[in-house]
A = this chain, B = another copy of it.
């Protein structure tokens, strides 16, 4: 049975790095690719950043490869995460060979709750002066995330995980989150400790090796994983996975890079590493590792795109990766 992969390049360099990731997938397996639109360009044409067909395609495909979206990013990526029923956003942040990093010893994976928190979308303008947002935390979502974290820790080479939260202030909501997550870990016999999210922000700079797998509420995961990206040299190389019970969506953490879009010089690494996460998710473990080590090899020995101090094109780097597969 051939898996169907939805391909949604989106805007800017999404249009360049997503085809590169498809090229790599084609080199290691047989998939059926279906492309669809999303983002600023389609919004300009049709008034909708996320056409119904694209939502439906992501919801029905075995996996989706997403590129990037511009101004309309939130209108694209939040519904797409929902379309694939994603409950966790997996965000590895590690330094790569050949890339300048503020903290080269950083090797973190964020498991970010992907359905609720301040992202639940309940906002109200109650008066001329006052607006409110209802932050939602459920035990069902917290426990599902924790189950995933326990499996993730067991499958990978991890000692346990740290739960980051702000339960000293958000006592009821983050209190519930931390309690549920720690309770699941205890039941499963997985080592888990905890840290306040503000203390994490300081300590990850001072000593990133103190941490490994970090489990967080939605916004905490957004901000803390971007902080970690700063420690490993930027968003440029970081992949991510939005995992659901049935399907999933994979996306580079970077954006549309309007300054270089259209020139064929974007670094395809993050998109290709996202494709490696996709392979792993679909059960192609060996293929996933091959892609990973081909990428690592090219990062070490070149060719390199301009962001890494080289002069190679997107296509040069992609071909070099494919050659190593």
Contacts and interface: CB of A to CB of B under 8 A. Distances in A.
A74 B176 contact: no
Given A223-B223, A230-B201, A234-B202, A170 B133 contact: yes
Interface string A79-100: 0000000000000000000000
Contacts of A1: none
A128 to B, nearest CB: 7
A227 interface: yes
Shortest 3 CB-CB distances between A and B: which pairs?
A: A205-B230, A123-B172, A201-B227
A123 B170 contact: yes
Looking at chain A, what size class is its interface with the partner chain? Answer: 35 or more
Interface stretch (A18-26, A135-143, A293-301): A135-143
Contacts of A199: 226
A168 interface: yes
Contact of A118 (B78, B125, B131, B169): B169
A195 B230 CA distance: 15
Given A129-B139, A231-B205, A234-B206, A198 B223 contact: yes
A198 B173 contact: no
25 contacts: A73-B168, A102-B102, A118-B166, A118-B169, A118-B170, A123-B170, A123-B172, A125-B172, A129-B140, A130-B137, A131-B136, A132-B134, A132-B173, A133-B134, A133-B170, A133-B172, A166-B219, A166-B222, A198-B223, A202-B226, A202-B230, A204-B230, A205-B227, A205-B230, A206-B234
A172 B137 contact: no
Contacts of A137: 130-133
Nearest to A71: B168
A118 B172 CA distance: 12
Nearest to A232: B205
Interface of A: 73-74, 78, 102-103, 118-119, 123-125, 128-140, 166, 168-173, 175-176, 197-199, 201-206, 219, 222-224, 226-227, 229-231, 233-235
A186 B202 CA distance: 33
B129 A171 contact: no
Given A118-B166, A202-B226, A205-B227, 7 more contacts: A78-B169, A118-B135, A125-B172, A131-B136, A202-B234, A205-B205, A206-B234
Nearest to A167: B74
Contacts of A118: 118, 135, 166, 169-170
A43 to B, nearest CB: 15
Contacts of A198: 222-223, 226
Given A123-B170, A123-B173, A224 B206 contact: no
A178 B229 CA distance: 25
A239 to B, nearest CB: 15
A223 B131 CA distance: 22
A285 to B, nearest CB: 30
